Amino acid sequence: MEGGDDALTRVYMPTESAPEPTRRAGAAVTDAARQLDEYFRGRRRDFDVALAETPATDFQREVWRVLRSLPFGTVATYAQVASLAGHPRAARAVGNANHANPWPVFVPCHRVVASNGLGGYGGGEDLKRFLLDLEGVRAYT
């Protein structure tokens, strides 16, 4: 993870190479790591992490807002997220916004599934299944 004392700027997936730390972790990163640990231990369902401003389109920001509103243990299809974001024909663009999400898990793009199955995930399908299983989701449509 990357960030400073005030906000989290980036979360790296296991499939990505994170840069070597150049300084002590800021307060926001330390807090995010604690919350993530609680989530993986089954002790947390919601996150209260400050997210840094990042370059993004208005559409991406709206999709990320919708993702943050998806409750723990639920899924929505790409088409449903597109509708909730005010762009009902933009299901494919939701996938692109998910791919650009700099804060996976905290902004739960793993909760978005295809209408006919699991759908893709930047961390890979096994990680997506793991996260959904952790949240008690057994059906992906």
Catalytic residue positions, numbered: 109
Full DSSP string of 19-34: PPP-SPPPHHHHHHHH
Q: Helices (H) and strands (E) in the chain — how many of each?
A: 5, 4
In the block, tokens 């790296």 appear at 12
Beta-strand relationship, 112-113 and 8-10: unpaired
Of 83, 86, 76, residue with least CA distance to 114: 76
Rg of the chain taking only CA atoms, in angstroms: 15
Exposure string over 102-130, b if 16+ CB within 10 A, otherwise e? bbbbbbbbbbbbeeeeebbbbbeeebbee
